[in-house]
Amino acid sequence: MIALRTASDADVDPSGGAHGGVLVSRPGTGRAVVPDPDGAVAALLRLLRTPVAWEPLIEKAAELAPDADPGGLAARVARLLGVGLVVAVCVADDGAEAAEARLTSRLGHYRPGSEPLPGARLRLSRFAAVRRDGDTAVLESPAAACQVILNRPALAALPAALAVPRTPAEALAHCPDPAAADLLQLLVDLGLAAETDAAGGLPEDEAPGHAGRTFRDLWAHGGRAGIAMSPPRAGGPSTAFPPPPALTPADGPVRPLPRPDMARLRRTDPPLAEVMERRRSVRTFGDPPVTAAQVGEVLYRVGRITTRLAADPDTPGSYDRALRPVPGAGALHELEYYVAARRCTGLSPGVYRYDPADHALVTVARDPSALVPLVDHAYRALGSSDVPQVLITLAARFQRLSWKYGEIAHTLALKDTGVVIQSVYLCAEAAGLAACAIGPADTAAFAEATGCDPLDQAPVGGIVLGSRPAP
Ligand SMILES: Cc1cc2nc3c(=O)[nH]c(=O)nc-3n(C[C@H](O)[C@H](O)[C@H](O)COP(=O)(O)O)c2cc1C
């Protein structure tokens, strides 16, 4: 049987009481009062304390809340599902729950009992994936904005069987679990599987805006579930691991950079309006090349630490933060700036990491051959006949963000990257340098050049700097 019930982590008080509505709370979303003028939500939530199938739920709620518009009851249940207060479960004959489905966004849909036509062939959405979580398997899709927790992991054979179009009977033959038929219905109800056309295509292939969207792209951006599959970390920063340090310790020779004279720059810089209006991506470079002092000036004006804010040991969840000229999510400043210098006056060819506290470069790789794949990648991305003089690669220490922000770490890193790229563009323009952002990143070349494990630090953006060619 497929039934609905309140989510185990939902705290629901249908009594309404002094609040004039239904008081609900879930971890991560806090407490909210759901207005309930006709008593329908309270009636539904009372019924949903134990699993109840869709039709009896609607019928009994109509009896309990006679003032409610019967047509509106389904919409109320859909809303409760959409905000994660209610889940759909496959209940086996012995009462055990074989699977539990929840929507991860209000934009997800649960359409109960969407019967496939006899003989219809079903197929899994190309955006769905199965992963392990604890002892369960989880089937989820950012396109359908839902998760199905398979408490009996062998049920994963069913979505696997739907990699090719199959009739329900054919699909069920691949999954002997007695709950498989209910699960199949649930997959259809949630839009994780759908009827194919004669060529094996799914409605999602034709839907406006879907063409060209790939599995990885949609997963990175959460699809219909928003920028992340779930809200930022509930209940504050992680207690599972300590916050990664604000600064990476220098582990190579340190080369101090000259500090720009900010008092002079305040007087001599072109006005912001002029810099903003004049800025262009410049893909050709001059001779002599950019100097270490010029690269240092850009790094200083964009990325140096101006103020360190130390964690307060007496405040739970407090962490080391820093202020820099650029803003950064949570003042975590997870981005490391790697400087690959190919032709730079005053800087030997090599790969360096910017030390934002001491305004210095830490040598990461002196062997110029480490530079080649990195710079080559940027060179090809520029599509110019000129080879980049200096490439700044921005690498995110994702764990620093995920410690505080959980699942939205990746998207915050990308936003922080955009902030830095534009700031570098503007400072380069003010300094009369050539600059061009680099869209693609070669994670393997970066890992080889820096020795970083991409799960710890991976490139999220880059920008080429150089001297301007003579006009
Ligand atoms: C995130 C981002 C990635 C970019 N990637 C590249 C790139 O890989 N190669 C390139 O030649 N230009 C790249 N650019 C520069 C754009 O092509 C450029 O900004 C656009 O053509 C507009 O020109 P403008 O910068 O002169 O205004 C990138 C720009 C941004 C913001």
Q: Are residues 169 and 28 in the same domain?
A: yes
What is the position in ligand 1's atom list of the atom closest to the CA of 418? 1
Total of domains in the chain = 2
Q: Residue 343 is encoded by which pair of tokens?
A: 């032709």
Nearest residue to 106 via CA among 255, 224, 237: 224
Give 330's DSSP letter: G
Our measurement of the distance from residue 28's CA atom to the centroid of its chain's CA atoms, rounded to an integer in Å, reads 17
Which CATH number belongs to the domain containing residue 129 in this structure? 3.90.930.70
Nearest residue to 329 via CA among 396, 427, 423: 396
Q: Residue 274 is encoded by which pair of tokens?
A: 């002029």
* Distance of CA 437 from the midpoint of ligand 1 (Å): 5
Angle ∠(65,27,220) on CA atoms, nearest 5: 110
Sign (positive or negative) of CA dihedral 348, 354, 360, 365 = negative
* Distance of CA 393 from the midpoint of ligand 1 (Å): 15
**How many angstroms separate the CA atoms of 63 and 60, rounded?**
5
Ligand 1: residue whose CA is nearest its atom 28: 437
Q: Are residues 220 and 258 in the same domain?
A: no
Q: Are residues 83 and 218 in the same domain?
A: yes
Q: Residue 335 is encoded by which pair of tokens?
A: 């981005």
Q: Are residues 217 and 326 in the same domain?
A: no
* pLDDT recorded at residue 19: 56
**How many angstroms separate the CA atoms of 109 and 235, rounded?**
27
Ligand 1: residue whose CA is nearest its atom 20: 281
> In this structure, what are the phi and psi dihedrals at residue 254, rounded to the nearest 5 degrees?
-105, 130
* Distance of CA 382 from the midpoint of ligand 1 (Å): 9
Q: Are residues 201 and 262 in the same domain?
A: no
* Residue whose token pair is 């600064």: 247
Ligand 1: residue whose CA is nearest its atom 25: 281
Sign (positive or negative) of CA dihedral 285, 288, 289, 292 = negative
Phi-psi region of 346 (alpha: psi -120 to 50; beta: other; left: phi over 0): left
Q: Are residues 107 and 170 in the same domain?
A: yes
Question: What does each C-alpha distance from 31 to 11, 12, 25, 41 come to in angstroms?
Answer: 9, 10, 4, 16
* Distance of CA 384 from the midpoint of ligand 1 (Å): 12
Domain contains 300 = yes
Contacts of residue 271, Cβ cutoff 8 Å, sequence gap at least 6: none
* pLDDT recorded at residue 207: 80
Domain contains 375 = yes
Q: Residue 176 is encoded by which pair of tokens?
A: 């002997």
Q: Are residues 159 and 301 in the same domain?
A: no
Ligand 1: residue whose CA is nearest its atom 7: 438
Q: By the 8 A CB rule, do 353 and 364 touch?
A: yes
Ligand 1: residue whose CA is nearest its atom 29: 437
The maximal CA–CA distance of the chain, rounded, in angstroms, is 84
* Distance of CA 383 from the midpoint of ligand 1 (Å): 11
Domain contains 237 = no
Q: By the 8 A CB rule, do 336 and 353 touch?
A: yes
Domain contains 433 = yes
Q: Are residues 212 and 279 in the same domain?
A: no
Q: Residue 345 is encoded by which pair of tokens?
A: 């006056």
Nearest residue to 112 via CA among 164, 57, 174: 57
For a substitution probing ligand 1, which of 436, 442, 463, 465 has the most ligand atoms within 8 Å of its CB? 436
Phi-psi region of 236 (alpha: psi -120 to 50; beta: other; left: phi over 0): left
Q: Are residues 196 and 270 in the same domain?
A: no
Q: Are residues 200 and 52 in the same domain?
A: yes
Q: By the 8 A CB rule, do 214 and 143 touch?
A: no
Q: Are residues 294 and 379 in the same domain?
A: yes
* Distance of CA 381 from the midpoint of ligand 1 (Å): 10
SS3 137: strand
SS3 181: helix
Domain contains 242 = no
What is the position in ligand 1's atom list of the atom closest to the CA of 440? 8
Strand locations in 262-374 (E): 307-309, 321-323, 335-341, 350-355, 360-365
Q: Are residues 265 and 192 in the same domain?
A: no
Give 222's DSSP letter: T
Ligand 1 site, CB within 6 A:
280-281, 283, 381-383, 421, 436-440
Q: By the 8 A CB rule, do 462 and 392 touch?
A: yes
Domain contains 244 = no
* pLDDT recorded at residue 30: 67
For a substitution probing ligand 1, which of 277, 384, 438 has the most ligand atoms within 8 Å of its CB? 438
Q: Residue 272 is encoded by which pair of tokens?
A: 């912001």
* Distance of CA 470 from the midpoint of ligand 1 (Å): 22
Q: Residue 42 is encoded by which pair of tokens?
A: 């309270």
Question: What does each C-alpha distance from 257 to 22, 58, 134, 352 come to in angstroms?
Answer: 61, 71, 49, 12
Domain contains 167 = yes
Domain contains 234 = no
Ligand 1: residue whose CA is nearest its atom 1: 439
* Distance of CA 436 from the midpoint of ligand 1 (Å): 6
* Residue whose token pair is 């693609």: 440
Domain extent for 125: 2-225
What is the position in ligand 1's atom list of the atom closest to the CA of 425? 25
For a substitution probing ligand 1, which of 277, 280, 281 has the most ligand atoms within 8 Å of its CB? 281
Ligand 1: residue whose CA is nearest its atom 15: 437
Which CATH number belongs to the domain containing residue 311 in this structure? 3.40.109.10
* Distance of CA 452 from the midpoint of ligand 1 (Å): 26
* pLDDT recorded at residue 205: 86
SS3 394: strand
User: Can you give the pLDDT of all 471 residues of the chain as single tens digits?
Assistant: 999 999 998 888 766 555 567 888 776 666 778 888 888 898 999 999 999 999 999 999 999 998 888 788 999 999 899 888 999 999 998 899 999 999 988 889 999 987 766 789 999 999 999 999 999 999 999 889 999 999 999 999 999 999 999 999 999 999 999 999 999 999 999 999 999 999 999 998 888 777 778 888 888 877 776 655 455 555 578 888 888 899 999 889 999 999 999 999 999 999 999 999 999 999 999 999 999 999 999 999 999 999 999 999 999 889 999 999 999 999 999 999 999 999 999 999 999 999 999 999 999 987 778 889 999 999 999 999 999 999 999 999 999 998 998 878 888 999 999 999 999 999 999 999 999 999 998 999 999 999 999 888 999 999 999 999 998
Ligand 1: residue whose CA is nearest its atom 18: 281
What is the position in ligand 1's atom list of the atom closest to the CA of 421? 31
* Distance of CA 237 from the midpoint of ligand 1 (Å): 35
* Distance of CA 439 from the midpoint of ligand 1 (Å): 7
Decide which of 225, 246, 269 is a domain's last residue: 225
* Distance of CA 282 from the midpoint of ligand 1 (Å): 9
Nearest residue to 194 via CA among 89, 290, 120, 101: 120
**How many angstroms separate the CA atoms of 451 and 412, rounded?**
24
What is the position in ligand 1's atom list of the atom closest to the CA of 422? 31
